[in-house]
């Protein structure tokens, strides 16, 4: 079957390789004595590893051909299998195998005694093999700094949830809630990794997500060795994210992907034996030889996506729409003379596009109900970005352009906190247009839709239209009417005299800001507190000045009264002399007062006005002091809130420490578990980051020097798994860590 479906230019290398392997298995069936040595299994193992690399090459969209190293492997296998075997040689081979069985029997027994540990060692070996490719030319080193920071912060939160739910699932394998959470975490991680071009992490997340989905559907049994392998691989994902944070490197994951691909095809013992060639797994029985053919058939079923196979294979009801879409797309393109690789790429895009559009419409509906939840906008932006990238890959330029405008619209919605429902109909119509364009090749009204998306205004971000007007004509029909572009006149505003009917939404929004910005805000808050203290001090000095001013005004008023009394006495004495001289003349009243008398009266009034001014200033100072007191309380609350933003729970560090314990204990073969008490406390983020290295150093030393290996613990009557207790307590302003 594999030979038939790979007989084309794109997969010619796989076709030739399959023919060579088929010839090899035929030789084994005719001459089963060839399997009496480890060398035969080593050769077949190398051949199948190379076979997997060929499939990886085909999956990446490249043409497959046999290079020199691949041809050398096939030639070596051919020379060995076509040799003549006589009785003497056969006897020698049997004798050699018997000796090998005798020598290697203890190793086999030790493997069988602890299959989970064997799988753990095997997976760690594959992880270390991948780490040797950190400096490979296939490693990704170019990342957008701003997007990468967002991804790393989001990934840290996802890793905490993944570790918690993985522990829950390992303790209760029937808990589907934990599995669903793990699938959601990995799907989000995959989307974020692909968004920052960390494709190797994205591939691992995709494979893990697929495994969890198979477990939920009952296609894969959650055995202990599978859970152990998944735990180690998720630890490796965390290490990869840490490497991206520190060195901005995303290196290939060839061996880990191979483990995930074959996680259900090999048992715990077989996985180790296939990698170390401890014990041959094949015998002379014809049934065992046919199992080789079954393995090849499984590979064919996993990679063969041709329409003929899809028509003959019974499908679940939920799988039929995607297959029908793919078949429709293939029928529309079968006369275009496309390269087989391009056909495979288009089939892949069609299957992914169906899922993306369905998810997009579902998430869009959720955003209509919860517009304050910005995570929906981020998911919609990622969906549009994925559609744009896939459309460009298969050269659907119209779809790529509309997806780009849609992605930009969702991005602007997030930047402007857009909560209006004015464009709800346009957004849904765009998703329906993409559906028709991808699966039916209907590109009606492409320019009009593109112009409408490009012309979205982000001015009135809270305007609400009535429901019957905001979401009319949402069902996409095959023939779409052209948008009327107008005759050059300005139409009336759509955002006019509508009654606002916006729902009351809970204030549960979250935004991401950089740590440097938080530090700057804390510094500015401190500067603000200092300036407030200076204003309070200046107001106190101003109050003292007003007190001195009041005393000066009182002295001035007293002096003016005394001066006015002296002037009155002089006037009375002067008029007494004049009255005696001119007894028959009554002088005018104003003639009794001179300009000096008038000035003294004016000065007295000015002194009274100064008292009023002083009283007004004193009241203003009291009001200002009251406002400063309120501002002081607000300032203290802001300062405390900003300081709390730097606090993180210690439990955030637990997955990293437990991961370190698992890796270290596996490396030195000393099974150990870490128990942490009182993890509810919070600590400054900078201090917690500085504590990581000392804690990791102490944990490594505790495992290396304080824990015996399994054999010694068994001889001493101790539990096979050692235990490290980390107790956290607080004494006054100090945090105390006890490790024992």
How much helix, strand and coil, in percent to the nearest 5, is found in the chain?
Answer: 70, 5, 25
Q: What is the pLDDT of residue 340?
A: 59
CA triple 643-647-651, angle to 5 deg: 170
Looking at beta carbons, which pairs linking 327-330 to residues 24 or more positions away fall under 8 Å?
328/439, 328/440, 329/438, 329/439
Looking at domain 649-739, which CATH architecture does it have?
A: 2-Layer Sandwich (3.30)
Q: What is the pLDDT of residue 594?
A: 66
Coil, strand, or helix at residue 380? helix
pLDDT in tens, 707-733: 888 888 888 888 888 889 888 887 777
Q: Is 70 exceeded by the pLDDT of residue 28?
A: yes
Closest by CA to 431, choosing from 351, 347, 359, is 359
Q: Is 60 exceeded by the pLDDT of residue 306?
A: no
Burial class (CB in 10 A: 0-12, 13-18, 19+), 154: middle
Do 145-251 and 319-470 agree at the fold level?
yes
Distances in Å between the alpha carbon of 17 and those of 9, 271, 282, 288?
14, 24, 22, 22
Q: What is the DSSP string of 192-208?
A: HHHHTT-HHHHHHHHHH
Between 663 and 341, the more confident residue is 663
Task: Work out the widest C-alpha separation in the chain, in whole angstroms.
Answer: 175
Between 608 and 110, the more confident residue is 608
Looking at beta carbons, which pairs linking 364-373 to residues 24 or more positions away fall under 8 Å?
364/427, 364/428, 364/431, 368/421, 368/424, 370/505, 371/418, 371/419, 371/505, 372/419, 372/505, 372/506, 372/507, 372/508, 372/509, 373/508, 373/509
Do residues 54 and 13 lie in contact, with contact meaning Cβ atoms separated by under 8 Å? yes
Q: Is 70 exceeded by the pLDDT of residue 336?
A: no
Q: What is the pLDDT of residue 582?
A: 55
Between 592 and 5, the more confident residue is 5
Q: What is the pLDDT of residue 93?
A: 42
Of the pLDDT bands very low, low, confident and very high (cuts 50, 70, 90), residue 312 is very low
What's the token pair of residue 206? Answer: 């995709």
Q: What is the pLDDT of residue 593?
A: 58
Closest by CA to 189, choosing from 124, 141, 233, is 233
β-bridge pairing 734-739 and 722-731: antiparallel
Between 709 and 344, the more confident residue is 709
Of the pLDDT bands very low, low, confident and very high (cuts 50, 70, 90), residue 465 is low
Of the pLDDT bands very low, low, confident and very high (cuts 50, 70, 90), residue 330 is very low
How far is it, in rounded angstroms, from Cα 635 to Cα 694?
36
How far is it, in rounded angstroms, from Cα 64 to Cα 14?
7
- Percent of the chain scored above 70 by pLDDT? 71
Of the pLDDT bands very low, low, confident and very high (cuts 50, 70, 90), residue 31 is confident
Q: Is 50 exceeded by the pLDDT of residue 555?
A: yes
Q: Is 70 exceeded by the pLDDT of residue 107?
A: no
Indicate the domain borders of the chain: 1-133+268-304, 145-251, 319-470, 515-645, 649-739
- Domain 145-251 matching CATH 1.20.120.160: the answer reads yes
Mean pLDDT of 391-400: 84
> Angle between the 12-30 and 38-59 helix axes, to the nearest 10 degrees?
160
Q: What is the pLDDT of residue 292?
A: 41
Q: What are phi and psi of 483, to 5 degrees?
A: -70, 130
What is the distance between the terminal CA atoms of the chain, rounded to a whole angstrom? 60
Q: Is 60 exceeded by the pLDDT of residue 285?
A: no
Q: Which helix (H) or strand (E) holds 690?
A: helix 685-706
Distances in Å between the alpha carbon of 160 and those of 128, 350, 650?
24, 34, 12
Of the pLDDT bands very low, low, confident and very high (cuts 50, 70, 90), residue 96 is very low
Highest mean pLDDT among 428-432, 650-654, 732-736: 428-432
pLDDT in tens, 116-130: 556 777 888 888 888
Q: What is the pLDDT of residue 204?
A: 92
Distances in Å between the alpha carbon of 292 and those of 45, 119, 259, 496, 679?
12, 22, 18, 73, 52
Q: Is 70 exceeded by the pLDDT of residue 229?
A: yes
How far is it, in rounded angstroms, from Cα 192 to Cα 547?
67
For 623, other C-beta atoms within 10 Å of its C-beta total 10
The sheet with strand 672-677 has its strands ordered as: 672-677, 722-731, 734-739
Give the gyration radius of the chain's Cα atoms.
41
Of the pLDDT bands very low, low, confident and very high (cuts 50, 70, 90), residue 38 is low
Instruction: Provide CATH code, domain 319-470.
Output: 1.20.120
Mean pLDDT of 360-369: 87
What's the token pair of residue 641? Answer: 């809130």
Q: Is 50 exceeded by the pLDDT of residue 48?
A: yes
How far is it, in rounded angstroms, from Cα 349 to Cα 357?
12
pLDDT in tens, 567-623: 777 777 766 655 555 555 555 455 555 677 778 778 888 888 888 888 899 899 889
| Structure-derived torsion over alpha carbons of residues 436, 440, 446, 452, reported in degrees to the nearest 10 | 0
Looking at beta carbons, which pairs linking 207-214 to residues 24 or more positions away fall under 8 Å?
207/257, 207/260, 207/261, 208/182, 208/233, 208/234, 208/237, 208/260, 209/183, 211/260, 211/263, 212/179, 212/182, 212/183, 212/186, 213/183, 214/264
Closest by CA to 696, choosing from 655, 735, 636, 666, is 655
Do residues 100 and 226 lie in contact, with contact meaning Cβ atoms separated by under 8 Å? no
Closest by CA to 403, choosing from 386, 415, 416, 426, is 386
Q: What is the pLDDT of residue 139?
A: 87
Q: Is 70 exceeded by the pLDDT of residue 89?
A: no
Q: Is 80 exceeded by the pLDDT of residue 514?
A: no
């Amino acid at each position: 079957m594999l030979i038939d479906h790979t007989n084309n230019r794109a997969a010619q290398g796989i076709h030739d390789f399959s023919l060579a392997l088929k010839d090899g298995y035929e030789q084994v069936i005719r001459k089963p004595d060839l399997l009496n040595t480890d060398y035969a299994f080593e050769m077949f193992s190398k051949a199948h590893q190379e076979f997997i690399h060929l499939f990886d090459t085909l999956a990446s969209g490249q043409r497959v051909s046999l290079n020199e190293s691949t041809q050398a492997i096939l030639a070596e296998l051919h020379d060995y299998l076509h040799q003549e075997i006589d009785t003497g040689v056969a006897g020698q081979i049997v004798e050699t195998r018997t000796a090998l069985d005798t020598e290697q029997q203890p190793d086999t027994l030790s493997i069988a005694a602890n299959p989970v540990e064997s799988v753990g060692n095997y997976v760690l070996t594959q992880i270390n093999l991948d780490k040797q490719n950190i400096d490979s030319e296939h490693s990704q080193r170019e990342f957008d700094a701003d997007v990468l920071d967002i991804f790393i912060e989001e990934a840290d939160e996802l890793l905490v949830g993944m570790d918690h739910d993985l522990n829950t699932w390992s303790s209760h394998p029937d808990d589907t809630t934990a599995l669903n959470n793990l699938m959601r975490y990995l799907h989000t991680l995959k989307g974020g990794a692909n968004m920052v071009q960390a494709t190797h992490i994205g591939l691992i997340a995709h494979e893990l997500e697929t495994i969890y989905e198979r477990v939920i559907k009952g296609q894969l049994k959650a055995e202990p060795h599978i859970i152990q392998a998944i735990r180690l691989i998720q630890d490796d994902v965390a290490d990869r994210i840490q490497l991206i944070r520190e060195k901005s490197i995303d290196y290939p994951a060839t061996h880990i992907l191979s483990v995930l691909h074959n996680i259900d095809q090999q048992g715990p013992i077989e996985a180790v034996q296939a990698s170390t060639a401890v014990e041959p797994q094949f015998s002379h029985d014809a049934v065992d030889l046919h199992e080789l053919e079954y393995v090849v058939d499984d590979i064919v079923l996993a990679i063969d996506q041709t329409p003929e196979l899809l028509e003959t294979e019974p499908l679940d009801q939920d799988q039929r729409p995607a297959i029908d879409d793919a078949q429709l797309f293939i029928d529309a393109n079968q006369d275009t003379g496309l390269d087989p690789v391009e056909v495979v790429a288009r089939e892949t895009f069609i299957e992914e596009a169906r899922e993306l559009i369905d998810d997009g419409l579902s998430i869009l509906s959720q955003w209509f109900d919860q517009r304050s939840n910005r995570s929906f906008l981020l998911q919609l932006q990622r969906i549009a970005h994925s559609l744009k990238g896939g459309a460009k890959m298969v050269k659907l330029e119209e779809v790529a352009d509309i997806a780009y405008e849609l992605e930009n619209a969702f991005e602007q919605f997030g930047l402007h906190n857009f909560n209006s429902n004015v464009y709800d109909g346009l957004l849904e119509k765009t998703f329906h247009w993409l559906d028709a364009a991808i699966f039916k090749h209907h590109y009606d009204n492409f320019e009009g839709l593109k112009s409408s998306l490009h012309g979205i205004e982000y001015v009135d971000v809270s305007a609400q239209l009535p429901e019957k007007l905001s979401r009319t004509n949402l069902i996409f029909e095959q023939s779409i009417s052209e948008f009327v572009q107008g005759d050059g006149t300005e139409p009336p505003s759509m955002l006019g005299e509508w009654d606002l009917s916006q729902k009351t939404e809970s204030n549960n929004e979250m935004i991401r800001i950089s740590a440097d910005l938080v530090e700057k805000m804390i510094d500015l808050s401190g500067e603000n507190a200092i300036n407030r203290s200076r204003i309070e001090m200046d107001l106190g000095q101003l109050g003292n000045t007003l007190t001195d001013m009041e005393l000066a005004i009182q002295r001035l008023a007293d002096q003016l009264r005394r001066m006015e009394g002296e002037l009155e006495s002089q006037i009375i004495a002067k008029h007494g002399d004049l009255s005696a001289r001119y007894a028959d003349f009554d002088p005018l009243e104003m003639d009794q007062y001179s300009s000096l008398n008038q000035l003294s009266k004016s000065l007295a009034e000015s002194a009274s006005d100064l008292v009023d001014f002083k009283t007004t200033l004193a009241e203003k100072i009291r009001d200002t002091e009251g406002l400063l007191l309120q501002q002081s309380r607000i300032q203290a609350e802001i300062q405390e809130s900003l300081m709390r933003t730097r606090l993180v729970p210690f439990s955030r560090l637990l997955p990293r420490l437990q991961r370190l314990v698992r890796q270290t204990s596996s490396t030195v073969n000393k099974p150990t578990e870490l128990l942490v008490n009182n993890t509810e406390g919070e600590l400054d983020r900078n201090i917690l980051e500085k504590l990581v290295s000392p804690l990791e150093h102490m944990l490594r030393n505790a495992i290396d020097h304080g824990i015996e290996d399994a054999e010694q613990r068994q001889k001493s009557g101790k539990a096979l798994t050692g235990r490290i207790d980390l107790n956290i307590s607080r004494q006054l302003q100090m945090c105390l860590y006890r490790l024992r």
